[in-house]
Amino acid sequence: MAETQAPPKHDVIIVGAGPAALTAAIYTTREDIETLLFERGVVGGLAAVTDKIDNYPGFPEGVDGLKLAADLQAQAERFGAVIELGEVTGLRDEGEYKHLETTSGDMLARAVLIATGSDYKKIGVPGEKEYYARGVHYCATCDGAFYRDKRLVVVGGGNSAVQEAIFLTRFASHIDLLVRSTIKASDVLQHELDEFVKQGKVTIHLGTTTDEIHGATKDGLAGVTSVTSTKDGQKVDFPTDGVFVFVGLMPNSQFLQNTPVELDNIGFVKTDQDLMTAMKGVFAAGDIRSGATMQIASAAGEGATAALKLREYLEGRAHPPQN
């Protein structure tokens, strides 16, 4: 009978590969701490699918999100970080090592950093799920170019909704912005949006809920879509070629549901002042952490802090991984 092969052991496994994770990996690998990152989606996280980042220090003219993500990846890999596309589905404490269940098999790590960030929140109306990627989208940078000279609906009134609506004016002939209550974006973004309203490129509909997304065919919205909304108690239909939803973010913490890692009432990870979770040796940084500011610059800063705390933790129980 063949012996069961023991799970591979690592110094540090980072779950996620966004700005917090990549920054942490730069710091750990420069300290010769062997580091493996698991990313189930896009390396760079939401930063990679952001058209332009204007508030990251050191870029006076702003920087393309994809370029910033690629540069962070290249820097981490230069120092020896290994990035693997896959998903962590479970985590448990086995004392000296943490046991991770992954799509690449079970693995052990002396320390773990959770930096899974957030994902786009859904509005949960009929038609949203059915027409996902076939007329319903959550990333203007990814899918906006498909709607050149088309009419679009954008749902949301926060910073991301206004920012993405402004980006979509590069392609769309007209945008209807459906806002449940009032616009809550920053004054700078609202001022910029007003310019497109004056040009007739954007029409803002305040106090408007989004109730249903219709499509004429099962293959997609394909230019014959409409969004049924309620405005002032009246049903309103907005003909459109596509719908972009930007109503906030939700934490990517589903794999932590039945673990000792504590989550807040929304699902973000609770940590102490050293960024350690309730599971000893497991840390969290970036947008996944309860109380995070949801800013790329602060995520990178937390990644650096987490790496230093990881090093301190490992130095307290220095047992190099065995092959």
Q: Domain residue spans in the chain?
A: 9-120+249-315, 136-245
Name which of 14-18, 159-163, 220-224, 283-287 the model is least confident about.
Answer: 220-224
User: Of 242, 206, 221, 228, whose CA–CA distance to 126 is shortest?
Assistant: 228
Whether residue 159 is predicted with pLDDT greater than 60 in this model: the reply is: yes
Whether residue 219 is predicted with pLDDT greater than 80 in this model: the reply is: no
As to burial, measured by CB atoms within 10 angstroms (0-12 exposed, 13-18 middle, 19+ buried), residue 122 is middle
Per CATH, 9-120+249-315 and 136-245 having the same topology is answered: yes
Cα–Cα–Cα angle for 268, 157, 55, rounded to 5 degrees: 70
Hey, what CATH topology would domain 9-120+249-315 get?
Answer: FAD/NAD(P)-binding domain (3.50.50)
Q: Average pLDDT of the chain? A: 90
The more confident residue out of 221 and 216 is 216
Q: Which of the following CATH numbers is that of domain 136-245: 2.60.120.20, 3.30.750.210, 3.90.550.10, 3.50.50.60?
A: 3.50.50.60
Q: Could you tell me the pTM of the whole model?
A: 0.77
What pLDDT was estimated at residue 264?
A: 95
61-72 CB burial, b ≥16 within 10 A, e <16: eebbbbebbeeb
Per-residue pLDDT, averaged over 203-228, amounts to 73
Which H or E run contains 14?
A: strand 9-15
